[in-house]
Chains A and B, each alone.
Chain A
Amino acid sequence: MTIAQQTTVAAVRTLVVQHLNLALPEGRPAEDDDLWKLGMTSLSCLGLMLAIEDEFDIELAQDALKEATFQNLATISAAVDAVLN
């Protein structure tokens, strides 16, 4: 994993913890932890998506706006990096 990708994951993690209201140890959720199973709802996902776009100053592709993109930190970060690169 490149440094840029690690940075994306870390920034996404911060937003996820904030928007899902999670109380987890440092470095959690893991990259492949299923966020829906951690209690993400369609509404918290909407808030998270908006926050991610604000934070990275990007617009995610319309076809990325689906459940699967927000499955875990890795999938979200991949969608973000796809726009950034």
Chain B
Amino acid sequence: MSATIEKPDVRPAQADVLIVGNGALGLFLARELSAAGAGSVVVVGPADRSSGGSQAAGAMMGCFAEATSESLRTQPARTRFELGVAAHERWPAVLAALQEHAPGGRPLLTAPETHVVLNSIGAELDNVNLAAIINALTEYGKPWQECDPHDIPGFNPRTDTRALRAILLPEEGAVDARAVLTALQADLLASGVTLLDASVRTLLGDSDSVTGAELDDGHVIEAGKVVVAAGALSESVLKTLIPDLDLVPTFAGLGFAMIARRTGGEPFRSVVRTPNRGFACGLHVVPQADGTEYYGATNRLVDEVGSTTWMADVRFLAQYSMQQLDERAASHEVVRWLAGNRPVTLDGFPLIGWLPRAGLYLMSGTYRDGFHCAPLLAAHVANELQGKPGLIDPIFQPTRRPVATRTVEGSIQEYVEHNLAGWFETGAQAAPQLTTRQIADYYRNMATQFYERVGTDYALGPDILWYAQGSLVGGRRVARYLRRLQPAAAGTGAL
């Protein structure tokens, strides 16, 4: 991919719009701006996209297959869900335009449809989320059908984790993320956008406005508008200019996935996945453009952006892919290990909007479906940068108070369900006398204690709660932020 990145002899010293970050969001934005004739555009980002989310993404074009019992329960969650629905409609045109730049001319759309399977190792959460998927499809009038799990091409699980039920979503498939990024870069270069293989060390400006950025080698680019789209590193980039920026806190959701070459058996021709489960996006396989298969993905909130892979995650993915998707995967050849960071926010909602410095804009916080949402978000941001009306709801403003969608009791319950799902999927062995209710009590107790100790009534999602109670760094960030948010409640906990 690096071969296509321009290394101009004279790097631009000015741009109308400088985009910090070369993931899906940054590149799609550059494309929109260039198509709109919005002046000179420079995108800065390391060619290898080290630890970025986009280069590791399964790039499922999922919104209904991603639905959970939370998706339509509250108005803000529904607004978020509809972002995905609207983004989905943009992809056919995007793919038609990018296909001419596809590596090797291979189709960018690698799977036209998705099978969601309900298997015997998933806990109650799987049933709940499958019902949520079907409800959402029905409510929005989208096509789906029941199908016999035996008829899913490539699907060949072990008997102990066989699927009891499966549905087909004929309008949700997947693209090859890495091929799309390569095609996007070629498209941008052809239309005169400058791509710089570098990192931004610090944003430049004063207390009123942003004026540009300094790269890691000291080169300065002046720009009247700077868009930060640096994924999970966005907050740290912004703090180089605004150290006390009051942003909804962001975290890195480190994910691991593998690309494997099949050595036998029938290949997958669709995305085959479980519902969202156990803090992550479910287990899934995504056919890739070159005939390989993507097996994903884990999700763990971490203290620092990085690309470490834990043995536990390697085991998780390898074992469950063999068990739950295709037992022949055992002899597949792993050709690539992918690790990337999802940009996660405390309230789970994206961060899209102007910041308190004239000319400075943030687009991030897309968590699990940023690849899918990128074309819509890019069109929205391009409009806003040009002073035109935006396309999405303003609730995603980055310096908002965190969006509240649950009660503390609901948060604790959700935490218990996710942990139980994780517990059973990983085959955790308990003494026979230990009942599911007792395990649930243990997790309930942990979550209750967390809320008592932190003394807040802002209710967290299960993933943030898991992270905050397990990491001192995460716990401190979450606790300090929540206490600042509610000065009246500070100190009223058991501290």
A-side interface residues toward B, CB under 8 Å? Answer: 19, 42-47, 49-51, 53-54, 62, 65-66
Contact = CB atoms under 8 A, between A and B. Distances in A.
Given A50-B479, A50-B495, A54-B495, A43 B449 contact: yes
Interface stretch (B137-145, B240-248, B316-324, B466-474): B466-474
B472 A46 contact: yes
A50 B494 contact: no
B442 to A, nearest CB: 12
A50 to B, nearest CB: 6
A65 B446 CA distance: 20
Interface residues of B, number: 17
B489 to A, nearest CB: 14
Given A44-B453, A46-B476, 18 more contacts: A19-B495, A43-B450, A46-B453, A46-B472, A46-B479, A47-B495, A49-B475, A50-B453, A50-B476, A50-B479, A50-B495, A51-B495, A53-B476, A54-B495, A62-B303, A62-B473, A65-B472, A65-B473
A14 B205 CA distance: 47
B473 A47 contact: no
A15 to B, nearest CB: 9
Q: Which of A46, A47, A49 neighbours the largest number of chain B CB atoms within 10 Å of its CB?
A: A46
Contacts of B449: 43
Interface string B109-150: 000000000000000000000000000000000000000000
Nearest to B475: A46
Nearest to B449: A43
A45 B449 CA distance: 12
Shortest beta-carbon contacts, A-B, top 10: A65-B472, A47-B453, A46-B475, A65-B473, A43-B449, A51-B495, A50-B479, A47-B495, A49-B472, A43-B469
A35 to B, nearest CB: 14
A51 to B, nearest CB: 5
Contacts of A53: 476
B469 A47 contact: no
A45 B472 contact: yes
Given A47-B494, A50-B495, A65 B476 contact: yes
